[in-house]
Amino acid sequence: MGVPTLTRADRTAIEPALDPSPSVEWRRPIPSASGPVRFARYAFGPNRLGYCGPDEAGELFAQATVGREEPRLRALAQQFEGAYPYLELISRSSGIPDPLDARVVEAYWLGSPVLERVRPQDLGPSLERRFRSRLRGDAWRWLATKPDAGAVPVHAFHVLDVFPRLGLLRSGETDRALEVMDSCRIRWGRVLERDGDWLVVSAVPLELEGGKLRLGPARPERIRGWSDGAGFVEDAGPGDVVSIHWDWACERLDDQRLAWLRDSTTRELELANRTI
């Protein structure tokens, strides 16, 4: 089964302010990067905070900015126990041999048509092996319905549908849960200004309205673009759109990648809201 079809009403409820209106022409060429380097750029934000992956944030950052030691970068990537199994699943299902192929990495973090090759009968057993023993009560029963409902192994699915069932959203700490989920999901923001190593972007936050998740009105947000001038977004400036993981800018996005990220986020919000 493919991804669910959303009605206009669905989209209006979920995404009231998806696209901060551009005032500056921002479509500039975006330098290519290898799959391992792109993985590292998305993984660095939570890794530096100690949330996932090996305790080697400095090495990960160095490899993500320079990217000259691919074997080392691959070894680091395999230690991300949350993300790497999804890459392996996408790789197997799509017939792309390398889990760190740029197409696989992009599909996981942003969403892309590559995910259409992952069948429910592939995703379901993978989720069961990884999460059934960690879930209590009805949590597994609800999660088990997601592959047939159209879920795909994109990062937004893990953040919005798997992560809450592991305890935080059901603990009663709703505000904290929303804050963590919003930081952990891959967000997009249009750059308003640069301030040294920081960027001020217009981004849409995750909200809980009437017991359902949605994206709220755009608001300014201050994020890290560089550390002592080194970073992942080259010379990003006003008008550019960047992807964001936790408080770090991961890469500049072109129209296609932005569309994939927005669409995957919207789909996964709709799926999560069915059983929240």
- Predicted confidence pLDDT, tens digits, the chain (276 residues): 443 444 444 444 444 444 444 444 446 788 889 999 999 999 999 999 999 999 999 999 999 998 677 899 999 999 999 999 999 999 999 999 999 999 999 999 999 999 999 999 999 999 999 999 999 888 999 999 999 999 999 999 999 999 888 765 444 556 788 999 999 999 999 999 999 999 999 999 999 999 999 999 999 999 999 999 999 999 999 999 999 999 999 999 999 999 999 999 999 999 999 988
256 CB-near residues (< 8 Å, 6+ apart)? none
* Domain membership flag for residue 49: yes
* Domain membership flag for residue 245: no
Token pair, residue 137, equals 């009560």
* Domain membership flag for residue 193: no
What's the rounded Cα separation, in Å, for the pair 98 and 268?
26
Domains in the chain, number: 1
* Domain membership flag for residue 167: yes
How many residues are listed for the chain in this entry? 276
* Domain membership flag for residue 153: yes
* Domain membership flag for residue 58: yes
Q: Which residues constitute the domain of residue 86?
A: 30-185+255-274
* Cβ–Cβ < 8 Å for 204, 217: yes
* Domain membership flag for residue 179: yes
